[in-house]
Amino acid sequence: MGAKRDFNVKVIKTEVVAASLPMQEHWLPQSNLDLLLPPMDVGVFFCYQNPIISGMPQYSSGSMVKVLKVSLAETLVSYYAFAGELVQNLAGEPEILCNNAGVNFTEAWADIELKEINLYNPDESIEGKLVPKKKHGVLAIQATQLKCGGIVVACTFDHRVADAYSTNMFLVSWAEIAQSKPLSQLPSFRRSFLSPRRPSHYDPLVIDSMYIPISSLKQETRAVTNIDDDEQVISRIYYVKAEEISRLQSLANNCNNDMISTKFHRFTKLETFSAFLWKTIANGMGGNSTPNYENFRFGIVVNGRSRLSDGVEEQAKVLKGYFGNVLSIPFGEKKVEKLKEKPLSWVANAVHEFLEPAKTKEHFLGLINWVEDHRPEPALARIYATNEDAVAVVVSSGQQFPVGKIEFGWGEPVFGSYHFPWEGKAGYVMPMPSPKGNGDWVVYMHMLKWQLELVEASASNVFKPLTADYLNLN
């Protein structure tokens, strides 16, 4: 494995890349589901080896950057929301001004080889170096040339405008245009599918348990962002072997089949993974070096596109290409001691139970109505607001992350990952497919330091630090 070392990044230049065709300035309203997102930026990056290794010697560092810029300008014609600005309307709510203000594109140079970058510790190697800070607009991009002739392409986008699904569509389209291919999926900005029903209808027992207006937060309840300052939040990237994922799934399902008192479900890999992580952290809590929380909240982000289409072909077609946020965050809260004493199958069943109500068309239609009834008051997912007796972790499945499709003409990326070191103290975890395409997972974790220390101490057989050796970069 190549020796890891620190490095500096030198900015060569930053310019604005706008859509290659003129567009009429117009306003694009946020959907009710967009309005559930607070201001936050999300990063994503891809690492490419020297094109010579991929059999593409015609590409130099300069020509790669040129391809990225030209194809980006063409891509922004279809994804015009990314070339706009987010501003407040008269009601104080955000709207997208589609004015083709463009995207900040930074060209940079790093005196390091790809195999030397410490991808396991993105706080050291990625944050503030390879993923750009978005200073204005909706999207920022950075292309960093490496000493070895490789390149890192990274984006930062405003989560209020797009979820990961939408950004994945954009990235695939950008790569297709770079290779002069037709777009496999056109984006849709049709908001009518997310319009509130008249009369308004939703189940308050479900929605009120998941979301809360900011003004309704009780004085003694604090957002997770405000817990003790000395509890440091850090990011790490691991890989999990396919056989370990299958082993855990088999363990949870076999035990569940033997539990007469529990209704049998065939737990998915994501349910099993989430249950294992929930239980692993809980098992180590209350020790000499960890806080002693009484309760533990665990949530999973649900993509509502397939739920809203509900098998209707025309709606499914539009929603497949829908650009925006179509998310909900159901969660469960359990006593830490209960999570410790119960088997993995019981915890997996708890995950399954809190997920099920949010996996329906009615849930998302109800959530849209709930937001409408509370506008313009901003709201917050309840898992991000807790008291001193609870801690929280959210898993966002990145299994649709199209890492192998982000190919601009000089070979597939040898690695790609989302990067979300947000300011909150609630843990954020995203499992993604390995670029090897062998069933392994790459897992980005942004959690309290003591939580990650527990994971590494008690589950090192499952979560292995990402290395150059694993990615075959030597």
Q: What pLDDT score was predicted for residue 225? A: 42
- pLDDT at 216 (0 to 100): 82
**pLDDT > 80? residue 183:** yes
Residue 313: per-residue pLDDT: 83
Res. 149: pLDDT tops 50: yes
Q: Which helix (H) or strand (E) holds 385?
A: strand 385-386
Average pLDDT over residues 125-138: 96
Q: What is the pLDDT of residues 317-358, one digit of tens each?
A: 889 999 999 999 999 999 999 999 999 999 999 999 999 999
Q: Is 379 helix (H, G, I), strand (E, B) or coil?
A: strand
Task: Specify the pLDDT at position 387.
Answer: 62
Q: Which amino acid is at 18?
A: A
- SS3 at position 155: strand
**Average pLDDT score, the chain:** 92
d(CA 431, CA 270): 9
Distance CA 267, CA 440 (A): 18
Range of lowest pLDDT (38-47, 76-85, 212-221, 224-233): 224-233
Residue 228 identity: D
List, for residues 294-303, the tens digit of each pLDDT value: 999 999 999 9
Residue 373: how many other CB atoms lie within 10 Å = 14
For 376-432, write each residue's pLDDT tens digit.
Answer: 999 989 998 866 668 999 999 999 999 999 999 999 999 999 999 888 789 999 999
Residues 8-20: pLDDT tens digits? 999 999 999 999 9
Strands 94-98 and 327-328: unpaired
Please state the pTM of the whole predicted model: 0.94
DSSP lists the bridge partners of residue 48 as 151
| Predicted confidence band of residue 222 (pLDDT cuts 50, 70, 90) | very low
Percent of the chain's residues with pLDDT above 70: 93
Q: Annotate 312-374 with DSSP letters as a single string.
A: -HHHHHHHHTB-S--EE--EEEEEHHHHHHS-HHHHHHHHHHHHGGGSSHHHHHHHHHHHHHH
Residue 48 and residue 414 in contact, taking contact as beta carbons nearer than 8 Å? yes
